[in-house]
Structure 1
């Protein structure tokens, strides 16, 4: 299968790292393409960044109509509902994917993300996905997204310390890493803390492969119906669709 992973921010180095993490878990027959838009925020930290990342992300998906599935590589699941409306192929957000897998290996999990500004959006997603009764807490380790790439930032230690607090205070039995930039840390953190630590990129890749193997695509019966044909003006003219699908 051909799996397109879209990093909604514009940081190419992070996109490359995400692609490497995805290829490390992909099945032999899965071709991974990792891309990011040229226009938008360098990182997504809160609601303002998120909304400005969506147009570029959707454009990357529209440019790849032959993909068998898409993964949105931002833990906020940036633009997930719009992407599912636009594309017929399955679209998986790494946040939703990781939370689903956490519930299969633990009764209770906590999320460890980057900054406090992202916590309300992630708490909203936890509730929307129906995991409020399984998630102990959404925690932040106060590491800016782009500093995850800097070994001198101390990011690993801060994330690890927050996991320890989640185990002690939330009774967490598993940890979900709340940023695609943390993808390469999951195995090491799991070994250190003795509980499952789940990376959303890996989780989304395996779920995408499963949906493809089962021949499942996004339902277009109601909420994810294709966008209706209408005029989009100005800078969004290219977002218009030609037909009602």
Structure 2
């Protein structure tokens, strides 16, 4: 049996986060699907600002182009950063489908609940979540909240943040009418089961949702449309970061 390969691309440079994200998402993959963790080779240790996003997007594009040039490119890609850093360019560059964890989480939530809330981190990244909510046209169903902790707090796990997320989730349920909670960072998989148990509504983790959706697209033999928006770029490839011409 031919095995399917999905690359999970972490736009930041923290290897431990890549490893934990891949391990957490593995149960969501179909039997016969291998997950390949990819960490940005340059850039920033965590993505918490618009400037960080620019570095992360460039790193995502470089990693996907590198993998596409290899002898055996992955069948699909997942972008493991809330806000879907670099997703449009990645879709142009990749031969297979590319799924952003934010889009995947929100689309999954929309199947499970009429209203839902994102709890992201830190507070200054709310706009990155808002952007994807707007793009998907879900502003009438989704509210974005935040726990004001740096992403570095979850590089090695997130269980210590459970209390903060329980408090914010209960506020979302009471004040936003949330019927499901979306975790707004790739490093929060540890919180899914205990948070769901504490607040009594579905809790969605985006990387797992993205892996499941990517697997589903591959099972249907579907990939990115090349008709207009994500047609391949015909521009000459510039020098990569760190190179000189």
Aligned pairs for 1:43-82 (under 5 A) are 43-65=46-68, 66-82=73-89
Q: CA deviation at 1:232?
A: 2.4
The alignment status of 1:162 with 2:165, answered yes or no, reads no
Q: For residues 50-93 of structure 1, what are the alpha-carbon distances to aligned partners after superposition, in whole Å with 9 as ceiling and x for unaligned?
A: 00111221121122222110000001100101111111210000
Q: CA deviation at 1:151?
A: 6.9
Q: CA deviation at 1:14?
A: 0.5
Paired with 2:224 and 2:172, the residues of 1 have a C-alpha distance of 35
Partner residue of 2:150? 144
Partner residue of 2:107? 100
The alignment status of 1:36 with 2:39, answered yes or no, reads yes
Paired with 1:162 and 1:11, the residues of 2 have a C-alpha distance of 27
Paired with 1:8 and 1:233, the residues of 2 have a C-alpha distance of 19
Partner residue of 2:120? 113
Q: For residues 170-213 of structure 1, what are the alpha-carbon distances to aligned partners after superposition, in whole Å with 9 as ceiling and x for unaligned?
A: 01000000000102211221111110000001100100010000
Paired with 2:76 and 2:158, the residues of 1 have a C-alpha distance of 36
Paired with 1:196 and 1:6, the residues of 2 have a C-alpha distance of 26
The alignment status of 1:11 with 2:14, answered yes or no, reads yes
Partner residue of 2:215? 209
Is this contact kept in 1: 2:157–2:187, CA < 8 A?
Answer: no
Q: TM-score, normalised by structure 1?
A: 0.92
Partner residue of 1:126? 133
* Counterpart among 222, 226, 232 of residue 228 in structure 2: 222
Kindly tell me: are residues 150 and 59 of structure 1, through their superposed partners in 2, closer, same or farther at Cα, counting changes over 3 Å? closer
Kindly tell me: are residues 24 and 153 of structure 1, through their superposed partners in 2, closer, same or farther at Cα, counting changes over 3 Å? closer
Paired with 1:186 and 1:234, the residues of 2 have a C-alpha distance of 37
Paired with 2:158 and 2:145, the residues of 1 have a C-alpha distance of 22
Stretches of structure 2 that go unaligned for 5 or more consecutive residues are none
* Counterpart among 194, 198, 208 of residue 204 in structure 2: 198
Paired with 2:27 and 2:63, the residues of 1 have a C-alpha distance of 23
Q: For residues 99-137 of structure 1, what are the alpha-carbon distances to aligned partners after superposition, in whole Å with 9 as ceiling and x for unaligned?
A: 0000101000000001111001211210111111111x1
Kindly tell me: are residues 206 and 86 of structure 1, through their superposed partners in 2, closer, same or farther at Cα, counting changes over 3 Å? same
SS at 1:64's partner residue?
A: helix
Partner residue of 1:91? 98
Q: How many residues align?
A: 237
Is this contact kept in 2: 1:231–1:237, CA < 8 A?
Answer: no
Q: TM-score, normalised by structure 2?
A: 0.92
* Counterpart among 169, 174, 192 of residue 180 in structure 2: 174
Kindly tell me: are residues 19 and 235 of structure 1, through their superposed partners in 2, closer, same or farther at Cα, counting changes over 3 Å? closer
SS at 2:188's partner residue?
A: helix
